[in-house]
């Protein structure tokens, strides 16, 4: 039996990597200008080729693909952490209003800085998003102390999300005309318009948080058995809970800071990954969630920019189309049914 499980893990990881590679090339090749594989290879590896093609690959497509990979992965790991923390299979940064909180603070900061004629840098965006995430998280924690029912918690989160979105819309409406276009695109969610500076900052933040998360696999695994047993096994629950909240907030804040709020990835991907691996062991699920989130977002981003080209869809509409059915399915499966019991 053990042997069988290991084979399953190996095949799953291999599958995710192959999908990632395939989608990577597919993405880099799709768009208004079509390039052959050898051209792409030359441009990326040898840095040669026509100037237009070179610029499209290096300045537009590559940053966008990398952003989708890094942020998609971050989002689904953040979802996994929240699900573990709240012991709730339908928890995620978007559903709990954490993304919307980040969106609100980021728009306020953006408008304030734009009003002064400044453009917000990557670090400022992340900090603003992190502050917003923590505010929403604070409310969610207050709610979770009062209500024990998992569905009530999610409803509370959705309400917080609506309130934040409403305030954001309000603020955006009264912002200067020139600011709105930029802000509007971002607040709908998109991986476009990433600079290399953005990429390096987000990679630094996300990969640091991911490395720490991975090193916390052991206490996360113990926590899956519930607080009482985790404490008995020697986990310092108070410290652990703070760490988990900070990590999941940093991860989802990075996403919101650069790509705006993206729905459903945080719930759908961990669920798909757990079904694929047939285990919830964090040491396997965390890296697999990162790969899965990257694959999912690359796939959705490709659809967002190609299906109605040259018009682009917002990434959230696409992730919702593919993610929401998974979430509904998750609600009806045995493991999720207990969400309604407690």
Partner 1 sequence: MDDFYIYTDHMSVGYNGRPLIRDIEIKVRRGEILTLIGPNGAGKSTILKSMTRQLALLGGTVYLEQKNMQGMSDKELSRRLSVVMTERIQPELMTCEDVVAAGRYPYTGRLGILSDNDRKVVRESMELVHALDLRDCDFTQISDGQRQRILLAKAICQEPEIIILDEPTSFLDIRHKLELLAILKKLVCKKQIAVIMSLHELDLAQKVSDMVICVHGDKIDKYGTPEEIFTDSYIRTLYGLTSGSYNADFGCLEMERPHGKPEIFVIGGNGSGIAQYRRLARSGIPFAAGILHKNDIDYKVAKALAEEVIAEEPFELIRDQTYQSALVVMKSCHQVLCCLQEFGTLNQKNRELLEAAERAELKAETL
Give, as ranges, the residues between 186 and 215 that touch partner 1 (CB under 8 A).
215
Residue from 108, 203, 231, 317 that binds partner 1 (CB under 8 A)? 231
Name the token pair of 107.
């728009």
- Distance of closest approach, residue 250 Cβ to partner 1, in angstroms: 21
Residue from 63, 97, 157, 221 that binds partner 1 (CB under 8 A)? 221
Name the token pair of 341.
């019991």
Beta strands in the chain (DSSP E): none
232 contacts partner 1 (rule: CB under 8 A): yes
Residue from 25, 162, 229, 308 that binds partner 1 (CB under 8 A)? 229
Return the number of other C-beta atoms located less than 10 Å from residue 226's C-beta. Answer: 11
222 contacts partner 1 (rule: CB under 8 A): yes
Closest Cα partner for 101 from 147, 140, 65, 70?
140
CA distance 316 to 296: 12
Q: Rounded to an integer, what is the distance from CA 298 to the centroid of its chain?
A: 12
Give, as ranges, the residues between 235 and 274 that touch partner 1 (CB under 8 A).
235-236, 274
Residue from 3, 145, 181, 234 that binds partner 1 (CB under 8 A)? 234
226 contacts partner 1 (rule: CB under 8 A): yes
Nearer Cβ to partner 1 (120/247):
247
CA distance 208 to 57: 27
Closest Cα partner for 183 from 168, 196, 194?
168
- Distance of closest approach, residue 158 Cβ to partner 1, in angstroms: 23
338 contacts partner 1 (rule: CB under 8 A): yes
- Distance of closest approach, residue 233 Cβ to partner 1, in angstroms: 4
Nearer Cβ to partner 1 (127/280):
280
Residue from 188, 280, 324, 331 that binds partner 1 (CB under 8 A)? 280
341, 229, 139, 270: CA torsion to nearest 10 = -70
Return the number of other C-beta atoms located less than 10 Å from residue 220's C-beta. Answer: 25
- Distance of closest approach, residue 277 Cβ to partner 1, in angstroms: 8
Nearer Cβ to partner 1 (179/279):
279
Q: How many residues bind partner 1 (CB under 8 A)?
A: 27
CB 257 within 8 A of CB 251: no
Coil/strand/helix, residue 242: helix
CA distance 189 to 171: 17
329, 288, 225, 252: CA torsion to nearest 10 = -80
- Distance of closest approach, residue 290 Cβ to partner 1, in angstroms: 16
Return the number of other C-beta atoms located less than 10 Å from residue 265's C-beta. Answer: 31
Closest Cα partner for 97 from 160, 166, 20?
160
Nearer Cβ to partner 1 (279/306):
279
Binding mask 48-87 for partner 1 (x = CB under 8 A): ----------------------------------------
Binding site for partner 1 (CB under 8 A): 1, 89, 215, 217-218, 221-222, 224-226, 228-229, 231-236, 274, 278-281, 283, 334-335, 338
């Amino acid at each position: 039996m053990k042997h069988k499980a290991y084979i399953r893990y190996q095949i799953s990881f291999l599958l995710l990597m192959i999908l990632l590679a395939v989608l990577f090339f597919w993405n880099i090749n799709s768009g208004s200008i079509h390039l052959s594989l050898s051209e792409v290879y030359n441009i990326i590896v040898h840095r040669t080729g026509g100037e237009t093609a070179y610029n499209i690959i290096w300045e537009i497509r590559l940053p966008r693909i990398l952003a989708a990979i890094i942020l998609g992965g971050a989002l689904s790991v953040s979802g996994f952490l929240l699900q573990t923390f709240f012991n709730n299979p339908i928890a995620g940064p978007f559903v709990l209003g954490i993304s919307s909180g980040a969106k609100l603070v980021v728009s306020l900061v953006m408008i304030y800085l734009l009003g002064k004629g400044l453009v917000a840098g990557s670090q400022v965006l992340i900090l603003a998003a992190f502050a917003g995430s923590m505010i929403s998280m604070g409310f969610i924690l207050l709610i979770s102390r009062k209500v024990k029912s998992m569905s009530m918690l999610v409803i509370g989160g959705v309400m917080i999300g609506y309130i934040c979105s409403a305030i954001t819309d309000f603020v955006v409406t009264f912002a200067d005309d020139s600011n709105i276009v930029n802000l509007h695109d971002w607040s709908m969610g998109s991986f476009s318009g990433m600079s290399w500076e953005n990429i390096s900052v987000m990679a630094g933040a996300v990969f640091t948080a991911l490395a720490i998360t991975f090193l916390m696999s052991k206490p996360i695994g113990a926590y899956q058995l519930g607080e009482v047993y985790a404490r008995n096994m020697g986990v310092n629950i108070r410290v652990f809970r703070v760490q988990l909240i900070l990590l999941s907030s940093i991860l989802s804040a990075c996403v919101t800071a650069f790509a705006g709020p993206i729905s459903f990835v945080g719930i759908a991907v961990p669920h798909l990954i757990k079904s694929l691996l047939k285990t919830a062991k964090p040491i396997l699920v965390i890296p697999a969630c990162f790969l899965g989130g990257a694959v999912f977002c690359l796939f959705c981003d490709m659809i967002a920019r190609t299906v109605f080209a040259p018009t682009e869809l917002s990434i959230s509409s696409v992730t919702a189309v593919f993610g929401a059915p998974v979430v509904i399915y998750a609600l009806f499966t045995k493991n999720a049914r207990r969400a309604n019991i407690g």
